[in-house]
Amino acid sequence: LLTDDGVPGTTIFAEMSALANATGAINLGQGFPDTDGPREVLLAAQEAIAAGLNQYPPGRGTAVLREAIARHQRRWYGLEVDPDTEVLVTAGATEALAAVLLAFVDEGEEVLTLEPAYDAYGAIIALAGGVHRTVPVDWPAFRPDADRLRDAITDRTRVILLNTPHNPTGAVLDEALLRVVVEAAERHDALIVTDEVYEHLVLDGARHVPVATLPGARDRTITISSGGKTFSTTGWKIGWLTGPAELVSSALAVKQFLTYVNGAPFQPAIAVGLDLPDAVFAGIAADLQAGRDLLLGGLEAAGLPVSSPAAGYFVIADGAALGFPDGADLCRRLPELAGVVGVPVSAFCRGEQAERMRSLVRFAYCKSPAVLQEASTRLATLR
Ligand code: PMP
Ligand code: GLN
């Protein structure tokens, strides 16, 4: 995690946000919304602070949030979880990932992910001493091959770390594929950890299928999510994990020495969000869909081939078509060329897969229409 000079390396997101700040370019790099989420959620946090909820919350998380998470799992997915034993509130999905992987992965044990993969996965697997195995997905569909995925799951696999909807590709893993994973996990007695932070940001009426709802999955699956994406509160870092009580207890054992607890006044506010009516969730996805369509149109008009994200915050474009074979190089030059910042997809990959994804750049569309319009106008100058 250190550079060759012995200093901490920065994440690609921090690096590209710094570049946007330094150049005044539009930041479509790091994934965070530029407008606030539901007012009820924001007010609830202010009220919680005013009401004095400013000291350590309980270790597993505030009861009102754990209960709201359990209600949410039942209402959206028909999943029953016990708020007292099967839910753990964490400092974002990031801490949930860290607590789970540190709890379950021993030195030399294998963790399987798709590739590209969210950057924290490889770093946390390394912290746990695990071995990171991957199954590549290909541009532009980014759909994993079921046979390849099945074959990659072996007796050496300790954890299959899924991410649906997927960052950076925006792919939603379908039920048939998830069934293949669950069956292989059962056969090889592997644990499934599933990062579903974009669960409500599914577009075009597509359906998010939580892995834990599939036959045989519940007893070996830890599901991770976060309020940051759904309610546009990425800076609050309220995440959670749900799963069988023994697995949650093991994650708690680690979490208590990572942060102990987190975000006391934000926890009841996220509980308010989780209880909001279906129409609010639909509105959040509809706004995002409009943003996606705007940016997709802008990138296409600029002459860039694009992926068709079914969910999440990001679209991927291929710089090669405009004579930019190296996405990392393009990202460094893009502020000057077009006044826009993106993130190279190679930052989510290693070795051969990084080479295959070399010309691809990820752009965030979780921004207001005026910003996406302006970014599109600027990108048109690339042509
Ligand atoms: N997993 C994925 C796939 C993500 O995209 C993100 C946020 N970008 C996280 C986890 C981290 O979520 P949080 O901010 O809640 O820690
Ligand atoms: N998850 C966000 C992204 O993919 C950024 C989070 C971060 O900066 N670590 O852009």
Share of the chain above pLDDT 70, in %: 100
Tens digits of per-residue pLDDT, 128-157?
999 999 999 999 999 999 999 999 999 999
Residue 204's pLDDT is 97
When pLDDT is cut at 50, 70 and 90, the band that residue 4 belongs to is confident
Residues 6+ apart with CB under 8 A from 13: 29, 30, 31, 119, 343
* Distance of CA 259 from the midpoint of ligand 2 (Å): 20
- Report which DSSP code applies to 5: T
**Which domains are delineated in the chain?**
12-30+279-382 (3.90.1150.10), 41-276 (3.40.640.10)
Ligand closest to CA 17: 2
When pLDDT is cut at 50, 70 and 90, the band that residue 9 belongs to is confident
Among residues 328, 335, 244, which one has the least CA distance to residue 12?
328
* Ligand 2 pocket list (CB less than 6 A): 11, 13, 30-31, 167
Q: What is the DSSP string of 155-216?
A: TTEEEEEEESS-TTT-----HHHHHHHHHHHHHTT-EEEEE-TTTT-B-TT-----GGGSTT
* Distance of CA 147 from the midpoint of ligand 2 (Å): 30
Per-residue pLDDT, averaged over 172-184, amounts to 98
Per-residue pLDDT, averaged over 311-327, amounts to 98
Asked if residue 312 has its Cβ within 6 Å of ligand 1, the reply is no
Is pLDDT at 231 greater than 90 in this prediction?
Answer: yes
d(CA 362, CA 307): 10
Judge if the upstream peptide bond of residue 38 is cis by omega within 30 degrees of 0: no
Mean pLDDT of the chain: 97
* Distance of CA 382 from the midpoint of ligand 1 (Å): 31
Among residues 191, 188, 123, 118, which one has the least CA distance to residue 150?
188
Residue 132's pLDDT is 98
Strand partners, 308: none
Asked if residue 195 has its Cβ within 6 Å of ligand 1, the reply is yes
Is pLDDT at 79 greater than 80 in this prediction?
Answer: yes
d(CA 31, CA 362): 10
Give burial (CB, 10 Å; 0-12/13-18/19+) of 280: middle
Identity at 64, one-letter amino acid code? V
Residue 52's pLDDT is 98
Residue 8's pLDDT is 74
Per-residue pLDDT, averaged over 160-185, amounts to 98
The answer to whether the beta carbons of residues 268 and 62 sit under 8 Å apart is yes
d(CA 31, CA 366): 7
The answer to whether the beta carbons of residues 266 and 284 sit under 8 Å apart is no
* Distance of CA 381 from the midpoint of ligand 1 (Å): 32
Tens digits of per-residue pLDDT, 18-66?
999 999 999 999 999 999 999 999 999 999 999 999 999 999 999 999 9
Is pLDDT at 262 greater than 90 in this prediction?
Answer: yes
Is pLDDT at 165 greater than 90 in this prediction?
Answer: yes
Shortest-distance Cα residue to atom 7 of ligand 2? 13
The pTM for the full model equals 0.97
When pLDDT is cut at 50, 70 and 90, the band that residue 205 belongs to is confident
Tens digits of per-residue pLDDT, 94-128?
999 999 999 999 999 999 999 999 999 999 999 99
Q: Which of 30, 167, 232 should be mutated for ligand 1, with most atoms under 8 A from CB?
A: 167
The answer to whether the beta carbons of residues 362 and 331 sit under 8 Å apart is no
Residues 6+ apart with CB under 8 A from 321: 303, 304, 305
The answer to whether the beta carbons of residues 91 and 115 sit under 8 Å apart is no
The answer to whether the beta carbons of residues 247 and 241 sit under 8 Å apart is no
Residue 176's pLDDT is 97
Asked if residue 225 has its Cβ within 6 Å of ligand 1, the reply is no
d(CA 277, CA 99): 31
166 Cα nearest atom in ligand 1: 3
Q: Which of 1, 10, 12, 13 should be mutated for ligand 2, with most atoms under 8 A from CB?
A: 13
When pLDDT is cut at 50, 70 and 90, the band that residue 185 belongs to is very high
Residue labelled with tokens 């946090």: 45
